[in-house]
């Protein structure tokens, strides 16, 4: 009810704000998260532990966090954007020195209370900072070279730090999200055309560098790309994941094999079945219909975010909402492409579905910002 009430002139205050939340979005997020609980329950062989129960608790926590953030006026968040970005870049640097190694990469930093993945946080704070930057920058200066180069720098610093961890997946996501935000802010087409041209050149250079002293990517990263290009080349190691993942999806058929009947995931043919490859379990057990349903839920989240952004006359709020939506989209698009054999295996989880505390909390935090923008939009 409150969602369609543009006409209400009075700006909500106090606890009444809760009524003005973007409730359809809350419901959509909850629906996706519930899909995740179901799948985590299934891959654990019909057990709440070890995955479903902590995930449910975390989602509850995330939901509370989201609503709390939504209650804080959006301009306060705008004013905090610079600080947040600075802190997360510092944390990225800190990970270099104090981070713990997980899955062969330095990604975690233990803050005592929570094990934080600064790269996750950076995705959001970078978007916040860029949105604030473009809110501050007069529109006519947006396409001027100096004012284009500056945000490029803001994007490249955390990207390089993440790449060094090394976490190729997140680096690409940061790059794409940053670029997307610049596009939304109205940077001229020509910049993007030249960057894409340069990108193609860079990719060529990266491949050329292979086997030389100045090799730009780690060997395992090259192998992942090789496997992606030709999964059959290595069916028992890296290619195994993609091959088994495709088998799981394919064997689901139209309606799937039924809840908890997926043989591929239950019998451990799938790697990382509770994290990066959880979509395969869903597609195996609920089939094409299940997979499409999740995709539709994700699509609706994007649609509601974009609608909320377009309706919002506040430039920072708009850009922030769109940037977060883009981030969210990149998450599931890369993950799904990966499990369907359309992209290399880069270790990107399925948002809100994959098991994992850090990613889940950061996402709910981000949607708290989206809600705050929605609640505090100018009327």
By the 10 Å C-beta count (0-12 exposed, 13-18 middle, 19+ buried), 37 is classed as middle
CB 367 within 8 A of CB 25: yes
Q: Could you give the string, one character per residue 205-244, with x where binding to other proteins holds by CB under 8 A and - elsewhere? A: ---------------------------------------x
> How far apart, in whole angstroms, are the C-alpha atoms of residue 101 and residue 5?
49
Task: To the nearest 10°, report the CA torsion of 249, 250, 254, 257.
Answer: -70
Name the helix (H) or strand (E) containing 86: helix 74-98
Residues between 119 and 148 with contacts to other proteins, criterion CB under 8 A: 136, 138-139
CB 332 within 8 A of CB 351: yes
Query: Strands across the sheet with 100-102, in order?
Result: 100-102, 105-110, 115-116
Q: Could you give the string, one character per residue 28-47, with x where binding to other proteins holds by CB under 8 A and - elsewhere? A: --------------------
Residue 303 lies near other proteins (rule: CB under 8 A): yes
Q: Which is nearer to other proteins, 210 or 313 (CB)?
A: 313
Pick from 126, 163, 309, 363 the residue near other proteins by CB under 8 A: 309
Q: Which is nearer to other proteins, 59 or 331 (CB)?
A: 331
Cβ partners under 8 Å of residue 197, min gap 6? none
Residues between 163 and 192 with contacts to other proteins, criterion CB under 8 A: 180, 183-186
Contact region with other proteins (CB under 8 A), list: 9-17, 50-58, 86-94, 292-300: 292-300
Residue 298 lies near other proteins (rule: CB under 8 A): yes
Pick from 248, 361, 366, 373 the residue near other proteins by CB under 8 A: 248
> How far apart, in whole angstroms, are the C-alpha atoms of residue 5 and residue 10?
11
Closest-CA residue to 289 (of 259, 264, 266, 260): 259
Positions touching other proteins (CB under 8 A) are 136, 138-139, 180, 183-186, 244, 246-254, 263-264, 266-269, 283-284, 287-288, 291-292, 295, 298-299, 302-303, 306, 309-310, 313, 315, 318-319, 322, 325-326, 329, 333, 336-337, 340, 342
């Amino acid at each position: 009810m409150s969602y369609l009430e543009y006409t209400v002139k009075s700006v909500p205050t106090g606890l009444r704000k809760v009524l003005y939340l973007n409730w359809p979005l809350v419901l959509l997020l909850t629906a996706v998260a519930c899909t995740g609980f179901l799948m985590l329950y299934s891959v654990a062989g019909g057990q709440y532990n070890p995955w479903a129960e902590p995930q449910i608790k975390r989602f509850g926590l995330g939901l509370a966090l989201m609503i709390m953030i939504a209650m804080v006026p959006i301009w306060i968040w705008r004013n905090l954007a610079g600080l947040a970005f600075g802190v997360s870049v510092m944390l990225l640097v800190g990970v270099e020195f104090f981070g713990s190694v997980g899955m062969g990469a330095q990604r975690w930093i233990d803050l005592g209370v929570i094990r934080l993945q600064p790269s996750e946080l950076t995705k959001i704070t970078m978007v916040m900072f860029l949105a604030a930057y473009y809110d501050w920058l007069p529109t006519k200066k947006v396409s001027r070279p100096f004012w284009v180069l500056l945000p490029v720098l803001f994007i490249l610093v955390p990207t390089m730090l993440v790449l060094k961890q090394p976490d190729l997946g997140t680096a690409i996501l940061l790059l794409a999200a940053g670029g997307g935000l610049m596009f939304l802010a109205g940077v001229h087409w020509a910049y993007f055309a030249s960057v894409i041209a340069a990108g193609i050149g860079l990719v060529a250079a990266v491949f050329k560098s292979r086997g030389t002293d100045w090799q730009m990517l780690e060997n395992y990263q090259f192998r992942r790309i090789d496997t992606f290009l030709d999964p059959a080349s290595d069916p028992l190691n890296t290619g195994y994941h993609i091959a088994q993942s495709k088998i799981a999806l394919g064997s689901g058929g139209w309606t799937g094999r039924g809840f908890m009947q997926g043989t591929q995931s239950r019998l451990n043919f799938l790697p990382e079945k509770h994290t990066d490859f959880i979509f395969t379990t869903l597609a195996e057990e609920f089939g094409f219909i299940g997979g499409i349903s999740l995709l539709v839920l994700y699509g609706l989240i994007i649609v509601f975010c974009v609608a909320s952004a377009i309706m919002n006359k506040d430039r920072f709020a708009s850009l922030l909402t769109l940037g977060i939506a883009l981030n969210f989209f990149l998450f599931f698009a890369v993950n799904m492409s990966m499990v369907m054999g359309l992209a290399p295996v880069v270790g990107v989880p399925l948002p809100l579905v994959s098991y994992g505390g850090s990613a889940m909390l950061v996402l709910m935090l981000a949607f708290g910002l989206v809600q705050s923008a929605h609640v505090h939009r100018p009327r």
